[in-house]
Amino acid sequence: MFTAIKSWLHRLFGKTEEKAVQPVRTKKKLSRADRKQIEAAIARANRTDKKEKSAQDSIPYERMWPDGICRVSDGHYTKTIQFQDINYQLSQNEDKTAIFEGWCDFLNYFDSSIKFELSFLNLAASKETFARAISIPLQGDDFDSIRVEYMTMLQNQLAKGNNGLIKTKYLTFGIDADSIKSAKPRLERIETDILNNFKRLGVSAETLDGKARLAQLHGIFHMDEQLPFRFDWDWLPSSGLSTKDFIAPSGFEFRTGKQFRMGKKYGAVSFLQILAPELNDRMLADFLDMESNLIVSLHIQSVDQIKAIKTVKRKITDLDKSKIEEQKKAVRAGYDMDIIPSDLAT
């Protein structure tokens, strides 16, 4: 395969060791940065060791399509929606109650056949990225002076800032299907329903296509380098490369169960199990207020209603059995049978 890749590079760039050949016609001329991106991807592919897993093999998905559908594993397909925030903390109590009830209705839409995940990403970005985000193009009308003044104010605020974090929120949902042909129409129906539910909540949302999903993965895997993502679907057929070759870091290292290294970046993973009787609505906000590279993922799996009712009934039966046994012990000991251990009463 590597010989074919090398031959493709020579054809693409119009160079060969034996004789001159005409370069392959492409839809657009490759820039120097694009060529470097392809060469880096091929170099990573050449470093693949058949005896050990490569960095590409460690990325847990099988294929990404241009429309944003991703086959994670055999028979499981996903799509991702990016959504914005709303002013919940600043709302009145009545508005908070309405928002919370709407959010509950939103979550209840997902049945047991739909697996979904909420992802909250705080990733560092370069000043050039911020500068492009706050750039306001002039329109040649009487309001250009206001645009210049407002853009200057934003640039001054950018110069004073020191955290350089971009905070984004995503909802990824997936279903099991026999093929992409059967998965696509159902994913599109679920996508439409989710976007409508976000609209009812007053939340702006949009679906990510395949390139946008790859760009987000590239940003996660290259936190230490802040490299711009360059990719085009036309580069794949002739090169023999996959989408993973354009997003993979230089390497992964998993020496312990918690710490890991990704490229030159070191990190740690923590699993949080919350058994508190109640949760404060500031919990997630407090996590995301930390001024560092941070990814919070909430994996949610709806339980089938019939199974849930059976589980609750089984738990109630177990509690009643324990209560009767404790009452028998109390009677034999000469105590009041209504006195039971506090944990059992709770």
User: Is residue 36 one of the residues assigned to a domain?
Assistant: no
Q: Are 291 and 142 in a shared domain?
A: yes
User: What distance in Å separates the CA atoms of residue 112 and residue 205, rounded to the nearest whole number?
Assistant: 23
User: What distance in Å separates the CA atoms of residue 59 and residue 121, rounded to the nearest whole number?
Assistant: 18
Q: pLDDT tens-digit profile of 115-166?
A: 999 999 988 765 565 566 667 888 888 888 888 888 888 777 666 554 567 7
Query: How many Cα atoms occupy the beta-carbon half-sphere of 52 within 13 Å?
Result: 8
What are the backbone dihedrals phi and psi of residue 200, each rounded to the nearest 5 degrees, phi first? Answer: -65, -30
Q: pLDDT tens-digit profile of 263-284?
A: 888 888 888 777 777 777 788 8
When pLDDT is cut at 50, 70 and 90, the band that residue 22 belongs to is very low
% of the chain with per-residue pLDDT over 90: 26
When pLDDT is cut at 50, 70 and 90, the band that residue 82 belongs to is very high
User: What distance in Å separates the CA atoms of residue 173 and residue 299, rounded to the nearest whole number?
Assistant: 10
Question: What pLDDT does 182 receive?
Answer: 94
* Torsion of the alpha carbons at 341, 342, 343 and 344, rounded to the nearest 10: 50
Q: Are 324 and 229 in a shared domain?
A: no
Instruction: Read off the pLDDT of each residue in 25-35 and give the average, rounded to a whole number.
Output: 66
Residue 67 has pLDDT above 90, yes or no: yes
Q: Are 278 and 326 in a shared domain?
A: no
User: What distance in Å separates the CA atoms of residue 51 and residue 54, rounded to the nearest whole number?
Assistant: 9
Q: Are 108 and 200 in a shared domain?
A: yes
Q: Are 195 and 252 in a shared domain?
A: yes
User: Is residue 4 one of the residues assigned to a domain?
Assistant: no
- Describe the strand order of the beta sheet including 259-262 as a list of residue ranges: 252-253, 259-262, 265-268
When pLDDT is cut at 50, 70 and 90, the band that residue 213 belongs to is very high
When pLDDT is cut at 50, 70 and 90, the band that residue 17 belongs to is very low
What are the backbone dihedrals phi and psi of residue 341, each rounded to the nearest 5 degrees, phi first? Answer: -60, 145
User: What distance in Å separates the CA atoms of residue 39 and residue 116, rounded to the nearest whole number?
Assistant: 36
Q: Are 87 and 134 in a shared domain?
A: yes
Alpha helices in the chain (DSSP H): 2-13, 32-46, 55-58, 93-108, 127-134, 144-160, 180-201, 210-221, 235-239, 244-247, 283-288, 305-332, 342-345
- 7-11, 248-252, 275-279, 288-292: least confidently modelled range: 7-11
Q: Are 167 and 280 in a shared domain?
A: yes
Q: Are 322 and 279 in a shared domain?
A: no
User: Is residue 286 one of the residues assigned to a domain?
Assistant: yes
When pLDDT is cut at 50, 70 and 90, the band that residue 285 belongs to is confident
Instruction: Read off the pLDDT of each residue in 72-86 and give the average, rounded to a whole number.
Output: 91
When pLDDT is cut at 50, 70 and 90, the band that residue 83 belongs to is very high
Query: How many Cα atoms occupy the beta-carbon half-sphere of 153 within 13 Å?
Result: 6
Using CB atoms within 10 A of its CB, is residue 244 exposed (0-12), middle (13-18) or buried (19+)?
buried
- Amino acid identity, position 175: I
Residue 6 has pLDDT above 50, yes or no: no
Q: What angle (nearest 5°) sits at the alpha carbon of residue 214, between those of residues 210 and 220?
A: 150
Instruction: Read off the pLDDT of each residue in 239-243 and give the average, rounded to a whole number.
Output: 86
When pLDDT is cut at 50, 70 and 90, the band that residue 45 belongs to is low
Name the domain count of the chain.
2
Q: Are 248 and 330 in a shared domain?
A: no
Q: What angle (nearest 5°) sits at the alpha carbon of residue 115, between those of residues 111 and 121?
A: 130
User: Is residue 45 one of the residues assigned to a domain?
Assistant: no
When pLDDT is cut at 50, 70 and 90, the band that residue 198 belongs to is very high
Q: Are 89 and 228 in a shared domain?
A: yes
User: Is residue 38 one of the residues assigned to a domain?
Assistant: no
| Encoded tokens for 175 | 């279903």
DSSP code at position 29: P
Mean pLDDT in the chain? Answer: 81
Question: What pLDDT does 135 receive?
Answer: 75
Contact 238, 313 (CB under 8 A): no
Residue 235 has pLDDT above 80, yes or no: yes
User: Is residue 126 one of the residues assigned to a domain?
Assistant: yes
Domain hosting residue 105, numbered range: 63-305
Residue 255 has pLDDT above 70, yes or no: yes
Q: Are 184 and 327 in a shared domain?
A: no
What does pTM read for this prediction? Answer: 0.69
Question: What pLDDT does 156 receive?
Answer: 74
User: Is residue 15 one of the residues assigned to a domain?
Assistant: no
Q: Are 76 and 126 in a shared domain?
A: yes
Question: What pLDDT does 163 receive?
Answer: 58
Question: What pLDDT does 18 receive?
Answer: 37
Question: What pLDDT does 313 receive?
Answer: 94
Instruction: Read off the pLDDT of each residue in 6-15 and give the average, rounded to a whole number.
Output: 44
Question: What pLDDT does 7 receive?
Answer: 47
User: Is residue 323 one of the residues assigned to a domain?
Assistant: yes
DSSP code at position 200: H
Q: pLDDT tens-digit profile of 93-102?
A: 888 888 889 8
Using CB atoms within 10 A of its CB, is residue 262 exposed (0-12), middle (13-18) or buried (19+)?
buried
